[in-house]
Structure formats: structure tokens, C-alpha cells
């Protein structure tokens, strides 16, 4: 039971769903689990050093899930709408958060206390879409954990060299500041290919983010959303592409040469919207999950070469996470063991 892979799906309007069998069945925790059942969950984060805990960024602030107590706890913070979360790879107590409107916050004690990080050039309102900016992703650089990258929707790309204490804008060459995601693919010798997704296409940087160039995809649409480097093979990168938010069609791309070339991997059936989220975990090099914006979920067991479509369809997916069941947590303690599924479903509404 301890090697099960658990899948967590954050939705826009139906909080978080859980699966203990790699997505074959999902359970929605009941109203007594600590999180509002209609919460919008924009981001999910876990850490290998605190594998019994999951952090969720929502439209009602920050929440923490305990695998042992099977409950969400609201974390008091200055943040009201949390869109991005990341934890320091060597220190699980250091958390970075990004919000809507676009701002950065930092915690050094596991999320108990937070400090606001002022950023020169950060804007809170966009004249482009007449709405607030939002931090869509925060990523620790795999080469140096003091280096952090962040994408800001309608705000550009930011870089920190001190683990999120200060930030600098890195948007030279972007065709659009409407940035959705960012990735770092490390090459031998320490150099890296940086990739960023925007509403106008995929961008690449070969000089540590100082300049960016547009990469044209073989697709009728250039809108790109998630970009993810394989956790155990940095030459392999995954990318989602479609005809807008939410869209009604799209493609899933895979590269095995650091993003030099891309090929389409077919997702089975007719897509209902743009492919949106991608999730992997270093414990399993072959298991991969992909979702569309409007709730379809796909699973690959061969590192993204082929997929099956999972049966459960959600309303709108905004975050996706999977990880092994933590060591030291007995199966019967976990919130969604088979013995408890029936009881949870009966009490759900």
C-alpha cells in the first residue's frame, strides 16, 4: 500500500478531488474536511521531506492538507487569492507564493508566518484584459536552489537569485507578457534551456533568461499553457497547446532533445478544451498525467508515448499533482482508503 500513487486534482469551483488508484476512481472530501466544497484551487504543492502534507493555493487563501488527519487546515496569511506555490527543494520550510493581483510572498517556517516581497516593476492591473495580473508558476532552478523563476500572467517573467527574497524582471524579447508557465532543462556542463509559455506561443532562452525568442510550433494555434521537464531526464520536455482558454481543441507535445524539436502525442478521443496541466513525480519515470482545462484527464504509463483517457470528468481543472503515499502513514490512516470511500461519498453532500 505504501507504493500507491495518489492523484490530486484542483478544480475551479469544486475544491480538490483525490484518487488512491492512479486516477481510476476519485473521491471528493466532505464538507467537514476543512475546505469549502466550492473552492477554486489554483495550485497544489508537496515536498519529499514533508510527504504527508500538501499545500493548496485557493481563492480563499492558503490551505494545508494532512494525510494523517485527512483534513484541510486554513493557514492564516496576508494572501487572499493564491495562484502559485513552490517549496525550496532542500528545505521544506521555505515556501514561496504568488497571488492575484500579482505579488510575491515568502515563508521560512513552513507557512506559519509570511512576509510580503516588494518587486520593482510588478503591476497589479492589466490594460490588456482589464483585469488583475496573477502569478501562474514559481519554479526553483534544478541547478541552484537559490535561483527561482516565476511566470506572471500579463506581467512577464521574474528571476530571483536569493531564494525569493528579491526579484528582477526578465522579459526582453517576449512576444507577450501574458506568461503561463516556465521550465528549466539542464544540459551537461550546467548550461540550460529555459522555456516559457504565453498566449502568443512558446519562448526559449539560452542566456539565463536575459533574452527570449519565439519558437513556432507545428500547430494551427500557438497558445501554450503548461511546460514540464521530465524530473529524471532533463532532455525530455512536455508541452500543452490549444486554441485558447478554455478553447475546444488542442495538442500535446513531447520533445526529447531539450526542446529543439517537438512531436505531437495523441490524446485519445475528442478533446473538449485546451490541454492545460501536466503532472509527474521522480519516483516513477513512466507515469504521467495530463488534463484539459474543462475536466478531461489522461494517463500515460510509458513516459508520454501513449495515453488512456480516465473515466472521471471534472468541471474545470486548474492544478494537478500526484505523488507516492508517504512512508510511515498507514493505509488505514489515509483519507481515501477503499474502506472509507463509501463513507466519504455518503457524507459528501
Judge whether residue 341 has pLDDT over 70: no
Judge whether residue 31 has pLDDT over 90: no
> Residue 129 has what pLDDT?
67
- When pLDDT is averaged across residues 61-67 and rounded to a whole number, the result is 94
pLDDT bin (cut points 50, 70, 90) of residue 345 is very low
pLDDT bin (cut points 50, 70, 90) of residue 219 is very high
- For 237-271, letters b (16+ CB in 10 Å) and e give bbbbbbbeebbebbbbbbbbebbeebeebebeeeb
Q: Can you list the domains of the chain with their CATH numbers?
A: 5-347 (2.130.10.10)
Judge whether residue 200 has pLDDT over 50: yes
> Residue 106 has what pLDDT?
98
Judge whether residue 332 has pLDDT over 50: no
Judge whether residue 103 has pLDDT over 50: yes
Judge whether residue 97 has pLDDT over 50: yes
- Tell me the pLDDT of the chain averaged across its residues: 91
Judge whether residue 343 has pLDDT over 70: no
> Residue 329 has what pLDDT?
58
User: Higher confidence at residue 48 or residue 297?
Assistant: 297
DSSP state string for 172-239? TT-S-S-EEEEEEEEPTTS-EEEEEEETTEEEEESSTTSS-EEE--SSS--EEEEEEE-TT-TT-EEE
- When pLDDT is averaged across residues 150-171 and rounded to a whole number, the result is 97
Contacts of 317 (CB under 8 A, 6+ apart): 9, 10, 11, 12, 276, 277, 291, 292, 293, 294, 295, 297
Lowest-confidence region among 42-46, 66-70, 274-278: 66-70
Lowest-confidence region among 32-36, 139-143, 316-320: 32-36
> Residue 51 has what pLDDT?
83
Question: To which residue does cell 476543512 refer?
Answer: 34
- When pLDDT is averaged across residues 161-175 and rounded to a whole number, the result is 97
* Cα gap 181→150, rounded to integer Å: 8
> Residue 69 has what pLDDT?
87
- pLDDT tens for each residue of 119-145: 988 989 877 766 899 999 999 999 999
- When pLDDT is averaged across residues 184-188 and rounded to a whole number, the result is 95
pLDDT bin (cut points 50, 70, 90) of residue 3 is low
> Residue 331 has what pLDDT?
41
DSSP state of 349: -
Lowest-confidence region among 113-117, 128-132, 234-238, 329-333: 329-333
Judge whether residue 87 has pLDDT over 90: yes
pLDDT bin (cut points 50, 70, 90) of residue 338 is very low
| Percent of the residues in the chain that have a pLDDT greater than 70, as a whole number | 91
What is the maximum alpha-carbon separation in the chain? 56
> Residue 137 has what pLDDT?
98
| Percent of the residues in the chain that have a pLDDT greater than 90, as a whole number | 82
Amino acid at each position: 500500500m505504501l507504493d500507491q500513487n495518489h492523484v490530486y486534482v484542483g478544480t475551479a469551483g469544486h475544491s480538490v478531488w483525490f484518487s488512491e488508484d492512479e486516477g481510476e476512481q476519485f473521491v471528493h472530501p466532505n464538507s467537514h474536511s476543512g475546505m469549502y466544497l466550492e473552492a477554486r484551487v489554483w495550485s497544489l504543492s508537496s515536498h519529499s521531506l514533508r510527504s504527508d502534507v500538501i499545500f493548496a493555493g485557493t481563492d480563499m487563501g492558503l490551505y494545508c492538507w494532512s494525510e494523517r488527519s485527512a483534513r484541510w487546515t486554513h493557514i492564516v496569511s496576508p494572501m487572499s487569492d493564491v495562484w502559485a506555490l513552490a517549496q525550496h527543494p532542500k528545505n521544506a520550510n521555505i515556501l514561496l507564493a504568488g497571488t492575484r493581483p500579482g505579488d510575491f510572498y515568502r515563508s521560512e517556517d513552513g507557512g506559519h508566518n509570511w512576509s510580503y516581497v516588494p518587486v520593482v516593476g510588478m503591476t497589479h492591473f492589466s490594460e490588456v484584459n482589464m483585469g488583475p495580473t496573477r502569478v501562474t508558476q514559481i519554479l526553483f532552478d534544478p541547478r541552484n536552489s537559490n535561483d527561482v523563476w516565476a511566470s506572471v500572467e500579463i506581467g512577464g517573467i521574474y528571476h530571483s537569485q536569493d531564494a525569493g527574497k528579491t526579484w528582477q524582471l526578465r522579459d526582453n524579447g517576449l512576444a507577450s507578457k501574458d506568461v503561463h508557465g516556465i521550465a528549466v532543462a539542464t544540459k551537461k556542463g550546467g548550461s540550460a534551456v529555459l522555456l516559457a509559455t504565453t498566449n502568443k506561443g512558446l519562448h526559449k532562452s539560452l542566456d539565463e533568461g536575459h533574452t527570449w525568442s519565439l519558437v513556432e510550433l507545428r500547430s494551427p494555434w500557438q497558445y501554450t499553457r503548461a511546460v514540464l521537464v521530465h524530473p529524471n531526464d532533463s532532455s525530455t520536455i512536455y508541452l500543452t497547446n490549444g486554441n485558447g482558454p478554455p478553447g475546444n481543441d488542442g495538442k500535446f507535445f513531447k520533445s526529447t532533445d531539450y526542446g529543439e524539436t517537438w512531436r505531437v502525442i495523441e490524446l485519445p478521443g475528442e478533446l473538449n478544451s485546451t490541454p492545460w496541466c501536466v503532472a509527474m513525480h521522480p519516483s516513477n519515470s513512466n507515469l504521467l498525467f495530463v488534463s484539459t482545462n474543462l475536466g478531461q484527464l489522461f494517463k500515460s504509463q510509458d513516459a508520454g508515448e501513449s495515453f488512456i483517457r480516465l473515466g472521471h470528468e471534472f468541471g474545470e481543472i486548474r492544478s494537478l499533482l500526484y505523488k507516492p503515499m508517504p512512508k510511515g502513514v498507514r493505509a488505514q490512516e489515509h483519507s481515501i482508503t477503499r474502506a472509507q470511500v463509501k463513507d466519504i461519498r455518503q457524507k459528501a453532500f
